[in-house]
Amino acid sequence: MNYQEYRQSLNQRLTDKVQRELSSFREEMQAKMPQEIYDAAYQIAMKEEIADCFSNADYSPQAAKALMKSPNLLQDVYEEFQPFRLEMYGTGCE
């Protein structure tokens, strides 16, 4: 396997990992009451967007390996984004 194939393989594994996490999150959401799902609408939409970004990414092998170490990468990225969202959009209560 040459470098480019190796890189593509790692990126595919990373995409697959995030897709599995998204699938698990969806299953959790489907078990919730309608109001809980409504309250989580932003989180649902953002996690879909995050997963989509991973499916189009081309990380270096080192970066892909580092990202794969996360037990729940989708949740970690979502949590990391929250302070930036609040900076950009506020809480919506102003």
> Per-residue confidence at 83, pLDDT binned at 50, 70, 90?
confident
Q: Specify the length of the chain in residues.
A: 94
Residue 72 structure tokens: 């729940």
Domain boundary assignment for the chain: 3-89
* Residues sharing a CB contact under 8 Å with residue 22, sequence separation 6 or more, in sequence order: 47, 48, 51, 74
pLDDT digit string, tens, across residues 19-52: 999 999 999 999 999 999 999 999 999 999 999 9
